[in-house]
Chain A
Amino acid sequence: MSKPVVKLLLTLSLLCIIPSFLFALTGDEVIQKMDEMATFETSVSTGSIKTTDRFGTKISTFKAWARGASDSLIEFTSTAERGQKILRTQSSLYLFYPDAEELIRLQGAALRQSVLGSDLSYEDMTEEKNTLDSYTVVLEGSEIVNGHDCHVLTLTAKKRTVAYPVQKIWVDKQTYLVWKAEYSTAQKRLLKVMEVISTVEVAGRTLPSETKIEDKMKRDSATWMTLDSLEVNVPLAANLFSLENLTW
């Protein structure tokens, strides 16, 4: 191979490497992209929460509406919880219990209570998609999860009010879907593991259609969250996220 050809090949290689250094994503950028891909202008979905333990399975079904990063309304449609609704907007959570016609407003720590005995909290189900507000992020490297090349990131809470002080997440490099997550205490004690079982393509984005969350503090306990239907960027009534609609 002649010197000019070698020189050309080296130059071309440098031209390829330098851009990859210049444009390599930071951990914050991966998280921002991840949040963007999980946030739609509006969405309407139906799904179920299936909780298993030693005695069997309990299933709760719901219908959910969401707008942006912080407004969400969930109505439970299964028998035992029929008509119960949760409205989350900014810093407050409103619960409506139709049997007692009772409207309850909660703030702070109450957001972390379990939803219907599942491994999910109200905060999990209605969380604001602004991860960087609550966590500092370190990009640890890459790993293959279920055949998907993923960024591996460690999230450490900035404030004490989050549900999980430490998270380790595997984010798909192509779709920015979180394939797996490990939730731990501040002392790195593993609490829960989340895995995406199946996905669905919606509006050009890959979203989880079935997710499994295992409680590592208990034997034989897991929660499956399944999306049966999902419509995105659909028109929603202006008063959907209001007390009037919550108590309707």
Chain B
Amino acid sequence: MVGKRNLLLLLVLSFLFSPLFSAVVPVVDMSLMGIFNYKPSTESFHQLMGMDLKISLPSPNSGNVRGEVVLKATYPSGTLTLDDIVHKAYLRARFPSFRLTAGKTRLSWGDGMLFNAGDVLYGSSSTSVSLTQAELRDKTDWMAALNYPLGFFSFFETILIPSTSGRIEDAGFGFRFYTNVGETKVEAGFATTDAGVRKHKPYVSLQGNIGADWYLSSSVELDRQFTASTSDLLVTGGLFHSLYFPGDRTLTLRLEFLSRPLQSWAFTGQEDANCTLLLYPELVYSPSTSLSLRLRTILSPLDLSMNTTVGASWSVFEGFSLVGYLSAPFGQSSDLFNWEGDQRIALGVGASWIY
């Protein structure tokens, strides 16, 4: 019932924005999944129908001001607020020497698909992600940012994050510098945020190619007094490579790692918030240009537990794909991934359509 109310709210918002439809071309992205899951802790089976709906209202792609409103809802879901449904609502204005972005959107700092120490604005170290999604990290938030080009492939960017408490001292701020040194991309930045506790996070991120594309990022979390504890150093990195075979068959290989090297390297008791070492291997095999088979795993090498998803996507018609996945955690009760609590083995089949 809560999910249906949220969908109704989404539809009402769409209707309210409908005068814009005459000026823009709305894009609807929906996926419908039949999900069957087994909960080992209670030895019970469950079945449900799930839907992800996204309605995008982009501005006309011309002039010096652009923007977009994106509404998003998921069924089933808990109680969603208006802030949850409005996934993006921003404008972007291009001035002669800089660019302003303001509203609710995302800035992607650093490198990495799952693990990204350079993502000091939203955080990309948690393992609480759905490996069935195309975008593993898509969090947005309210902000205002200025981008200053320093050359064709270099820029300086600064961001202001509004306070959630209403107190100006709880506002956030950040900046980054992006450039190329030879064949290596170099990015460095800093963000200070207050989500209850003030944290300062400087980072550096490098990206290049040694046959395979590689990246390496590091950040450290400092407290209000700019001191760091041993738990706060985060290092991420990865390799990405594509292999091509006759008949347009491709195999893409990705391996990312996350490490908190100064944390405990114990073989048990690893937890998501302070896990010492995680690996993310991903294989995507495309036997044709319309079919892809995917294997994604988050692996904790210290306790040998993992969360694995095998998926397939078949682009049958324009904008329409059939999708399926099977996901399961593996590990013992004291491991990072296990069959305890709310963990489930899930099988999903369905379709996605964008129009």
> Interface of A with B (CB < 8 Å)?
51, 53, 55-59, 77, 79-80, 82-83, 91, 99-103, 105-110, 112-114, 117-119, 163, 185, 189, 191, 215, 217-218, 221, 239, 241-244, 247-248
Partner of A242, one of B153, B209, B248: B153
B341 at the interface (CB under 8 A from A): no
Cα A205 to Cα B86 with chains together (Å): 51
Decide: A241 and B152 in contact? CB cutoff 8 A. Answer: yes
7 pairs from A and B in contact (CB 8 Å cutoff) = A82-B58, A83-B58, A83-B61, A100-B106, A109-B243, A110-B242, A113-B242
- The chain B residue sitting closest to A113, CB to CB, is B242
CB distance from B211 to the nearest CB of A (A): 6
Among B35-43, B159-167, B316-324, the stretch in contact with A: B316-324
CA distance A82 to B68 in the complex (A): 12
Pair B149/A105 contact, Cβ less than 8 Å: no
Which residues of B are at the interface with A, using a C-beta cutoff of 8 A? 25, 27, 58, 61, 66, 92, 94, 99, 105-108, 135, 137-138, 147, 149, 151-155, 178, 183, 185, 207-209, 211-213, 240-244, 246-248, 250, 252, 286, 288-290, 315-319, 354-355
Known A-B contacts A79-B27, A102-B108, A217-B247; A59 and B288 likewise in contact (beta carbons under 8 Å)? no
The answer to whether A243 and B318 touch (CB under 8 A), given A53-B290, A83-B58, A119-B248, is no
Main secondary structure of the interface of B (DSSP, over half): strand
Determine the chain A residues whose CB is within 8 A of the CB of B248 once the complex forms. 114, 119, 215, 217-218
Q: Which residue of A lies closest to B106 (CB)?
A: A101
Q: B191: shortest Cβ distance to chain A, in Å? A: 16
In chain B, what residue has the closest Cβ to A59? B318
Instruction: For A91, list chain B residues within 8 Å (CB).
Output: 183
CA distance A154 to B124 in the complex (A): 50
Other A-B pairs beyond A79-B27, A114-B289, A243-B178, 19, CB < 8 Å = A55-B317, A56-B317, A82-B58, A100-B108, A101-B106, A102-B108, A105-B213, A107-B213, A108-B209, A108-B212, A109-B244, A110-B241, A113-B250, A163-B244, A218-B247, A239-B149, A242-B152, A244-B149, A248-B66
- The interface residues of chain A lying within 8 Å CB-to-CB of B27 are 79, 82
List of B residues within 8 angstroms of A112 by Cβ = 242, 244
- Complex CA gap A77/B243 in Å reads 28
Q: Are A80 and B318 in contact (CB under 8 A)?
A: yes
Among B105, B108, B246, B354, contact of A189 (Cβ-Cβ < 8 Å): B246
Interface centre among A102, A112, A244, A248 (most CB of B within 10 A): A244
Residues of A within 8 A of B213 (CB): 105-108, 110
- Chain A residue at minimum C-beta to C-beta distance from B108: A102
From A101, A221, A243, B155 is in contact (CB under 8 Å) with A243
Whether the pair B147, A117 counts as a contact (CB closer than 8 A) is: no
Q: How far is the CA of A58 from the CA of B178 in the complex (A)?
A: 37
Closest beta carbon of chain A to B77's beta carbon, Å: 20
With A109-B242, A242-B152, A248-B99 as contacts: A80 and B207 at CB distance below 8 Å: no
Contact A117 B315 (CB under 8 A): yes
B290 and A117 within 8 A (CB) = yes
Q: Which residues of A contact B242 (CB under 8 A)?
A: 109-110, 112-113
Contacts of B108 in A (CB 8 A): 100-103
**Minimal Cβ-Cβ distance residue in B for A81:** B354
**A119 contact set on B, CB distance < 8 A:** 248, 289
Residues of A within 8 A of B317 (CB): 55-56, 58
B147 and A244 within 8 A (CB): yes
The chain A residue with its CB closest to the CB of B249 is A217
Q: For residue A99, which residues in chain B have a CB less than 8 angstroms away from its CB? A: 135, 138
Quick one: closest B residue to A103, CB to CB? B108
**Chain B residues whose C-beta falls within 8 Å of the C-beta of A103 in the assembled complex:** 108
In the complex, the chain A residue whose C-beta lies closest to that of B137 is A100
Task: Report how far A185 CA is from B248 CA in the complex, Å.
Answer: 12
Please indicate the chain A residues that have their CB under 8 angstroms from the CB of B107 in the complex: 101
Determine which of A51, A80, A106, A109 lies in contact with B319 in the assembled complex, contact meaning CB atoms within 8 Å: A80
User: Closest CB of chain B to A101's CB: distance in Å?
Assistant: 5
In the complex, A221→B315 CA distance in Å?
A: 14
B109 to chain A, nearest CB (A): 10
The one of A79, A108, A185, A191 that contacts B211, using a Cβ cutoff of 8 Å? A108
B-side contacts of A105, CB under 8 Å: 185, 207, 213
Q: Which residue of B lies closest to A94 (CB)?
A: B153
